[in-house]
């Protein structure tokens, strides 16, 4: 099982990734060395770089880890992995020993020149800790290898070593992240930052390798335990979180602390600067008091002019003597204008330095007070400051007399003040400096160096020197080294009104001393936290594994029990069961069923394959079987033919599955011998297909019922009749309404009858009742008990119906003849064979013999006998019927009667018969006479009615007249007054009111139009009709022209046929055309290309006239448009007055027009009709009097 499992994928990926990273970091560091980029191995920091030897070992080990992760096959090989592991371990061991003893081998640097200037640590060499970690890594790598003897402890050891590696790497990395400076406190020199990170990554990779190996040693553990990768991921996340929190907390503390220190430095600096400035200002103030004092100048003048004057000397000495006594000024000198020292208080005998005298002369020359900065007095070597005050003649105000010099000794006040530091500190101090050319001079006495004042100098250009920066005039915090070369933190800035700058500084080490403790606290705390979380996860993982092993032990027991069960099943099953190796198909084990079926003894089979034994008759079947097995893992019920030892062929049903035995895939197959079953099936198949064919082919229903008369089987005809659901239904269900018939079959089931025939109406599946004739036969068991019945049924409905129809027809015929109100007789072979009652009455016959048996011809009047005979013989020979004929018969009493005769021949059993029908037309003849009389009377009636009609017409005229005069007046009033209302009271009406008034006016107007239209309509009826030729073409053109005049904007295509000459009243026809064309004009309004046609239909055309339209024979005129048309469903309303098919808004109108046309056409004796379709236009047809 080489294939990678899905849940192995992640550990592999992690291993691969970390291996690549580690090797990559090694290469990176090596390249940095070789390309002389020292920033690479030290990761751009001023910390220790990764040694070349370290980089090389990382490259080797990282590559090995990564190869094992990516090439699973390589993982199995010890040949290359063991030397690498051993090599790394040994090198680590040697270097750990040498390095911890302080011996650094040159070979470690791989011949690469180390360019970094040597500092605190030996660069380019492996740290002893690094070496120890490499030993751990090499051992972990070796332990995770696939040793020939699989021991569970090895991967575990590997795992723990990797954990160690990871943890140390992590802690060291953490240390670097927090701040490498503080790590310098550990005893041996530490691994580089890059090295630490690489160890962390390498630890992860080795951890995954160990995990993978653990799974290989115990492959079934996979999928049961919590994924190791997941645990690792959790730990990684925890670690990152803890590190981040730790780093942040420490950094915050550090920042706060630094701020505190900085504030302190700044405060001290400011305090001192303020005091220094005050000090200077105080001295200058004193000097000014002396400078402007005329008493002093007078005294000085007197003393200089008369040196012998003891009084003036005494006074001057007293005056000046106050300064040395009260101030830090050690001596006061008086120099005269010539530069001679004339007085010194107190008198010491030590002369003033010559350069002082020069300075005094210069001050006297400028007549300004001068502050002489720190300088060393030549003979004594003492440091002094001095104030030079020129003395000017009081009276003349301009003559220089001499100079007073106040010499200040800084040891008295200034130096102690500067050296003071307000808080206890071992290293803090302030420095007063001055720039001299390109150098900085320290002006005060220093804490750590005696006699430094004015003696200690540094070049201005030294950048890391806060002193120099102060002298350059910079202000602010800075870090650098001080005069001792020690790292310090300082605040520097100039003292105003002076050449001085002040530096307040403290050793960085002192500042960070408390931080160091804090750092180790933090690391310890968060390291513990991480260790705890790692341990927690580790415990959790171990717990998981423990649980898994327990469950595995349980399943192993269950497995053993089930194996026992299956072993028994294997042995005793009658089927042939065999286990063979997948690899070569050789049988490993077969059961008794196998040996029985195939005739081989177990010893003959073991170790041989089915191919060798030739078990498969068709080798290609075997190939297919194996292919399916390999593709699907299992095969079910594969049919194949096998050969037994004796060569006999057996049909088998094979099922197989791939199982694993002792780590090797095997085929387990069971074969059932189905030869017998197959043979039986085949025979049954033949038999049954024959029966099926017979049963299906029989048109009769064949059905079987059980003793409860429930259908157990029916043939196809039965299913077709009863439907699919017949099986399981009681037969009674189909005997609906035929319970009596159904009861008749009972004796069959009682065992009284063997066979039985019944006919019964039964419901077919389509619901129709059919008459079925059933032959039933009882089915009995061996004991003679009735167990059911088999019946065949035939649909005899048609036969039954045919018989019934025949009977009915006979009865009908007989009834018809006998009860007919018309006389009928039947003649056969020229003899009357049958006559009905009416016939007897017609002939006045009392006895049958008076008609029956007689010659039919003799019944007729002699005038007609010949023609009747001829007709009858014609009928007899050629069949058919004789049309109605008038004739006469002779009654028994000899009287003649008028009759109408028809005769028809038909064939019956006795040959051709002739039916003769006689109707007495005596009555009819009389009616015809009556009718003539009646007609004459009717004429008279019509005349009277016409007169009435004329009266009605007159009344109508009177009505119309009255309407014409009176009906419009109120409308006019309504319209008029509403208009008046609008014009005069418009302002008093609101919008709504105006609208209503408008509506009233419009309604009145419309009513007026309606009245007019009605009047027109009535006028048409009343009007006298002319009757002359009318040129419809001309009329139509006139109307068209008029319409065009009314609406000149519109363009309508007029197609008016020429020479449409009709007979009629020109005025009326003009009105008709006005209406028709007016409508056409109106309803083509919305069309883009309106077209109106007037013409006639050709006479031969299958006139679209409905019903009798064509028969009238008159010309059919039409008016056709392509307008909006209308729905033919409303065509019947078209010609009634006030019927409108369109909305008033779309097409205004009265609804009278077509009624008018209808009237006109009617008055012309013609017809009017229309054809239309919505949106397809309309055509109106009309005819005029056909005459």
User: In the beta sheet, which residues pair with residue 500?
Assistant: 434
Closest CB 1004 distance from another protein, rounded Å? 6
Q: Is 1063 exposed, middle or buried (0-12, 13-18, 19+ CB in 10 A)?
A: middle
Residue 977 CB, nearest distance to another protein (Å)?
A: 7
Which CB atom, from 280 or from 1005, has the smaller least distance to another protein?
A: 1005
| CA angle, residues 345, 346, 352, in degrees to nearest 5 | 65
Contact 588, 606 (CB under 8 A): yes
Nearest distance from C-beta of residue 963 to another protein, angstroms: 9
Q: Judged by CB, which is closer to another protein: 284, or 1000?
A: 1000
Task: Classify 194 as helix, strand or coil.
Answer: helix
Rounded to the nearest whole angstrom, what is the least distance from the CB of residue 1133 to another protein in the complex? 27
Q: Which of 412, 694, 802, 973 binds another protein (CB under 8 A)?
A: 973
Kindly identify the residues of this chain, within the stretch 979-1038, that bind another protein according to CB under 8 A.
979-980, 1001, 1004-1005, 1007-1009, 1012, 1015, 1019
Tell the smallest beta-carbon distance from residue 932 to another protein (Å): 45
How far apart CA 831 and CA 833 sit, in angstroms, is: 6
Which one among 157, 790, 967, 1057 touches another protein, defined by CB under 8 A? 967
| End-to-end alpha carbon distance in the chain | 115
Residues 1060-1119 that bind another protein (CB under 8 A): none
Structure tokens at 297: 């100048």
The stretch among 83-91, 344-352, 776-784, 977-985 that binds another protein (CB under 8 A) is 977-985
Q: Which is nearer to another protein, 873 or 1022 (CB)?
A: 1022
CB of 938: closest distance to another protein in angstroms?
35
Output the smallest distance, CB 976 to another protein, in A. 4
Give the interface segment with another protein, choosing from 25-33, 88-96, 152-160, 970-978 (CB under 8 A). Answer: 970-978
- Candidates 234-242, 366-374, 922-930, 968-976 — which segment interacts with another protein by CB under 8 A? 968-976
* Residue 584 interacting with another protein (CB under 8 A): no
How does DSSP classify residue 49? P
Tokens representing residue 324 in the block = 């040395």
Binding mask 653-692 vs another protein (x if CB under 8 A, - otherwise)? ----------------------------------------
Residue 929 Cβ vs another protein, minimum distance, rounded to whole Å: 50
Applying CB under 8 A, the site for another protein has a residue count of: 27
What six digits make up the tokens of 233? 């991921």
What is Dmax (Cα atoms) for the chain? Answer: 227
**471-510 footprint of another protein as x/- string (CB under 8 A):** ----------------------------------------
**Measured between alpha carbons, how far is 316 from 307 in angstroms, rounded to an integer?**
11
Is residue 972 a contact residue for another protein (CB under 8 A)? yes
Considering only 149, 969, 1088, 1129, the residue that binds another protein (CB under 8 A) is 969
The stretch near another protein (CB under 8 A) out of 33-41, 507-515, 782-790, 966-974 is 966-974
How far is it, in rounded angstroms, from Cα 821 to Cα 839? 9
Q: How far is the CB of 957 from another protein (least distance, A)?
A: 9
The site string for another protein over 942-961 (x = CB under 8 A, - otherwise) reads: ------------------xx
Which of 68, 331, 650, 975: binder of another protein (CB under 8 A)? 975
CB of 969 to another protein, least distance (A): 5
How many Å apart are CA 1087 and CA 456, to the nearest integer? 118
- Tell me the three state secondary structure of residue 1031: strand
Q: Residue 965 CB, nearest distance to another protein (Å)?
A: 4
Among 407, 337, 400, 342, residue whose Cα is nearest residue 370: 407
CA separation for the pair 120, 123 (Å, rounded): 9
Cα separation of 741 and 735, whole Å?
8
Q: CB 1005 → another protein: shortest distance, Å?
A: 5
**Distance in angstroms (rounded) separating the CA atoms of residues 226 and 234:** 12
Check residue 1096 and report its DSSP letter.
E
Residue 741 DSSP one-character state:
H
Kindly state the smallest distance separating residue 972's Cβ from another protein, in Å: 5
Which of 478, 717, 971, 1134 forms a contact with another protein (CB under 8 A)? 971
Q: Which is nearer to another protein, 313 or 968 (CB)?
A: 968
- Judged by beta carbon, residue 934 or residue 973, the one nearer another protein is 973
977 interacts with another protein by CB under 8 A:
yes
Q: Which two tokens stand for residue 433?
A: 């400096």
Q: Which stretch binds another protein (CB under 8 A): 405-413, 450-458, 704-712, 963-971?
A: 963-971
Q: What angle do CA 514, 520, 525 make, to 5 degrees?
A: 125
Q: In terms of CB distance, is 286 or 1012 closer to another protein? A: 1012
Which residues have C-beta within 8 Å of that of residue 461, sequence separation ≥ 6? 438, 468
Q: How many CA atoms lie within 13 Å of 741's alpha carbon, on the beta-carbon side?
A: 18
Stretch that binds another protein, among 404-412, 820-828, 964-972, 1142-1150 (CB under 8 A): 964-972
Establish whether the linkage from the previous residue to 346 is cis, with ω within 30° of 0: yes
Measured CA distances, 451 to 434, 470, 500 (Å): 16, 21, 19
Q: Determine what percent of the chain falls in helix, strand and coil, rounding each to the nearest 5.
A: 50, 20, 25
Judged by beta carbon, residue 643 or residue 1023, the one nearer another protein is: 1023
Pick between residue 396 and residue 984 the one whose CB is nearest to another protein.
984
Q: Where are the alpha helices (DSSP H) in 580-727?
A: 592-598, 602-605, 610-613, 619-632, 675-697, 716-722
**Which residue, 80 or 961, is less far from another protein as judged by CB?**
961
Residue placing its CB nearer to another protein in the complex, 622 or 975: 975
- x-marked contacts with another protein along 564-583 as a string, rule CB under 8 A: --------------------
Contact pick of 968, 994, 1087, 1142 for another protein (by CB under 8 A): 968
Distance in Å, CB of 1150 to another protein, minimum: 13
CA 486 to CA 509: how far, in whole Å? 9
Minimum Å distance from CB 953 to another protein?
15
**Residue 493 backbone dihedrals phi, psi, to 5 degrees:** 180, 155
Residues 203-232 that bind another protein (CB under 8 A): none
Q: Which long-range contacts (CB under 8 A, 24 or more apart) does 153-159 make?
A: 154/213, 154/217, 155/210, 155/211, 155/213, 155/214, 155/217, 156/210, 156/214, 158/206, 158/209, 158/210, 158/213, 159/207, 159/210, 159/211, 159/214
1091-1097 and 1116-1121: which strand pairing? Answer: antiparallel
Q: What is the side-by-side order of every strand in the sheet holding 1116-1121?
A: 1053-1056, 1091-1097, 1116-1121, 1177-1183, 1168-1173
In the three-class reduction of DSSP (H, G, I as helix; E, B as strand; rest coil), residue 903 is classed as strand
Nearer Cβ to another protein (673/1065): 1065
Nearer to another protein, 390 or 1153 (CB): 1153
- Nearest-approach distance from CB 968 to another protein, in angstroms: 4
Contact call for residue 891 and another protein (CB under 8 A): no
Q: Is 508 helix (H, G, I), strand (E, B) or coil?
A: helix
The C-alpha R_g of the chain, in whole angstroms, comes to 72
Stretch that binds another protein, among 96-104, 659-667, 947-955, 974-982 (CB under 8 A): 974-982
Q: Residue 1148 interacts with another protein (CB under 8 A)?
A: no
Interface positions with another protein (CB under 8 A): 960-961, 964-973, 975-980, 1001, 1004-1005, 1007-1009, 1012, 1015, 1019
């Amino acid at each position: 099982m080489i294939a990678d499992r899905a849940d192995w994928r992640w550990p592999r990926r992690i291993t691969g990734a970390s291996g690549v990273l580690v090797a990559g970091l090694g290469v990176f560091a090596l390249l940095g060395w070789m390309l002389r980029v020292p920033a690479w191995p030290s990761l751009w920091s001023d910390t220790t770089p990764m040694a070349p030897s370290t980089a090389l070992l990382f490259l080797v080990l990282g590559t090995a880890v990564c190869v094992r992760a990516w090439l699973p096959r390589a993982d199995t090989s010890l040949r290359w992995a063991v030397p690498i592991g051993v090599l790394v371990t040994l090198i680590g061991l040697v270097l750990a020993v040498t390095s911890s003893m302080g011996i650094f081998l040159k070979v470690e640097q791989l011949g690469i020149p180390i360019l970094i200037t040597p500092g605190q640590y030996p660069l380019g060499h492996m740290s002893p800790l690094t070496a120890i970690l490499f030993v751990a890594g090499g051992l972990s790598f070796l332990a995770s290898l696939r040793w020939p003897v699989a021991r569970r402890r090895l991967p575990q050891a590997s795992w723990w070593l990797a954990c160690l590696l990871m943890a140390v790497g992590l802690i060291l990395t953490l240390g670097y992240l927090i701040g490498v400076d503080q790590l310098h406190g550990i005893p041996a020199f530490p691994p580089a930052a890059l090295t630490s990170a690489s160890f962390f990554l390498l630890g992860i990779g080795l951890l995954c390798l160990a995990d993978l190996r653990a799974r290989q040693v115990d492959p079934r553990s996979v999928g049961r335990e919590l994924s190791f990768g997941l645990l690792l991921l959790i730990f990684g996340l925890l670690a990152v979180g803890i590190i981040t929190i730790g780093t942040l907390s420490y950094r915050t503390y550090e920042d706060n602390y630094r701020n505190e220190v900085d504030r302190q430095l700044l405060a001290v600096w400011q305090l001192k600067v303020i005091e220094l400035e005050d000090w200077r200002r105080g001295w200058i103030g004193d000097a000014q008091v002396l400078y402007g004092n005329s008493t002093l100048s007078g005294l000085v003048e007197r003393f200089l002019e008369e040196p012998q004057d003891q009084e003036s000397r005494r006074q001057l000495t007293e005056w000046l003597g106050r300064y040395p006594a009260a101030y830090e000024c050690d001596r006061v000198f008086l120099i005269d204008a010539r530069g001679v020292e004339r007085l010194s208080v107190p008198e010491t005998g030590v002369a003033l330095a010559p350069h002082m005298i020069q300075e005094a002369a210069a001050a006297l020359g400028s007549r300004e007070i001068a502050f002489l900065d720190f300088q060393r007095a030549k003979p004594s070597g003492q440091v002094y400051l001095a104030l030079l005050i020129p003395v000017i003649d009081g009276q003349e105000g301009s003559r220089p007399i001499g100079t007073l010099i106040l010499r200040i000794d800084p040891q008295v006040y200034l130096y102690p003040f500067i050296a003071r530091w307000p808080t206890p500190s071992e290293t803090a101090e302030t420095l007063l400096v001055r720039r001299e050319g390109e150098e900085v001079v320290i002006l005060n006495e220093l804490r750590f160096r005696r006699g430094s004042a004015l003696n200690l100098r540094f070049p201005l250009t030294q950048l890391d020197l806060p002193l120099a920066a102060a002298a350059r005039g910079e202000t602010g915090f800075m870090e650098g080294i001080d005069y001792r070369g020690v790292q310090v933190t300082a605040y520097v800035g100039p003292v105003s009104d002076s050449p001085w700058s002040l530096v307040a500084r403290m050793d960085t080490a002192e500042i960070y001393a408390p931080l160091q403790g804090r750092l180790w606290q933090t690391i310890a705390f968060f390291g513990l936290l991480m260790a705890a979380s790692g341990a927690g996860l580790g415990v959790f993982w171990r717990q998981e594994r423990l649980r898994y092993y327990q469950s595995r032990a349980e399943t192993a027991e269950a497995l053993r029990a089930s194996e026992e069960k299956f072993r028994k099943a294997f042995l005793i099953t009658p089927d042939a069961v065999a286990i063979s190796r997948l690899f070569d198909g050789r049988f490993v084990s077969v059961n008794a069923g196998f040996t029985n079926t195939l005739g081989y003894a177990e010893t003959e089979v073991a170790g041989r394959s089915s191919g060798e034994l030739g078990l498969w008759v068709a080798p290609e079947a075997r190939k297919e079987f194996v292919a399916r097995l390999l593709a699907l893992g299992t095969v079910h019920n594969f049919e194949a033919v096998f050969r037994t030892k004796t060569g006999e062929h057996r049909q088998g049903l094979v099922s197989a599955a791939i199982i694993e035995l002792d780590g090797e895939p095997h085929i387990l197959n069971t074969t059932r011998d189905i030869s017998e079953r197959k043979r039986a099936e085949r025979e049954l198949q033949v038999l049954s297909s024959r029966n099926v064919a017979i049963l299906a082919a029989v048109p009769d229903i064949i059905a079987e019922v059980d003793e409860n008369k429930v259908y157990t089987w029916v043939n196809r005809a039965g299913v077709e009749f009863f439907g699919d659901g017949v099986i399981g239904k009681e037969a009674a269900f189909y005997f609906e309404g035929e319970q009596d018939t159904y009861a008749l079959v009972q004796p069959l089931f009682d065992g009284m009858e063997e066979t039985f025939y019944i006919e019964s109406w039964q419901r077919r599946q389509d619901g129709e009742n059919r008459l079925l004739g059933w032959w039933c036969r009882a089915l009995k068991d061996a004991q003679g008990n009735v167990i059911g019945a088999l019946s065949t049924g035939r649909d005899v409905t048609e036969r039954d119906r045919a018989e019934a129809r025949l009977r009915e027809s006979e009865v009908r015929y007989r009834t018809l003849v006998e009860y007919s109100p018309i006389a009928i007789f039947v003649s056969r072979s020229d003899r009357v064979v049958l006559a009905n009652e009416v016939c007897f009455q017609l002939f006045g016959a009392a006895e049958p013999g008076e008609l029956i048996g007689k010659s039919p011809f003799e019944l007729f009047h002699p005038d007609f006998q010949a023609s009747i005979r001829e007709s009858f013989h014609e009928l007899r020979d050629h069949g058919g019927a004789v049309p109605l004929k008038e004739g006469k018969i002779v009654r028994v009493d000899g009287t003649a009667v008028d009759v109408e005769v028809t005769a028809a021949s038909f064939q019956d059993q006795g040959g051709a018969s002739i039916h003769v029908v006689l109707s007495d037309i005596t009555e009819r003849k009389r009616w015809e006479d009556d009718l003539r009389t009646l007609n004459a009377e009717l004429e008279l009636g019509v005349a009277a009615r016409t007169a009435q009609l004329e009266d009605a017409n007159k009344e109508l005229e009177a009505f119309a007249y009255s309407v014409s005069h009176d009906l419009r007046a109120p409308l006019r009033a309504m319209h008029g007054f509403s208009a008046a209302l609008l014009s005069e009271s418009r302002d008093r009406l609101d919008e709504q009111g105006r609208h209503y008034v408008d509506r009233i006016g419009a309604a009145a107007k419309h009513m007026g139009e309606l009245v007019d239209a009605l009047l027109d309509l009535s006028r048409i009826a009343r009007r006298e009709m002319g009757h002359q030729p009318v040129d419809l073409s001309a009329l139509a053109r006139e109307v068209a022209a008029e319409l065009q005049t009314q609406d000149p904007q519109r363009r309508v295509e007029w197609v008016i046929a020429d020479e449409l000459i009709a007979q009629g009243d020109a005025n009326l026809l003009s009105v008709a055309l006005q209406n028709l064309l007016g409508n056409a004009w109106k309803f083509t309004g919305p069309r883009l290309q309106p077209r109106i046609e007037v013409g006639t239909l050709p006479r031969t055309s299958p006139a679209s006239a409905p019903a009798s339209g064509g028969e009238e024979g008159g010309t059919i005129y039409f008016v056709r448009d392509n307008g909006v048309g209308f729905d033919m469903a409303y065509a019947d309303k078209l010609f009634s007055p006030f019927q409108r098919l369109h909305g008033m808004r779309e097409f205004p109108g009265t609804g009278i027009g077509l009624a008018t046309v209808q009237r006109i056409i009617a008055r012309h004796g013609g017809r009017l009709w229309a054809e239309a379709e919505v949106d397809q236009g309309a055509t109106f047809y009309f005819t005029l009097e056909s005459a």
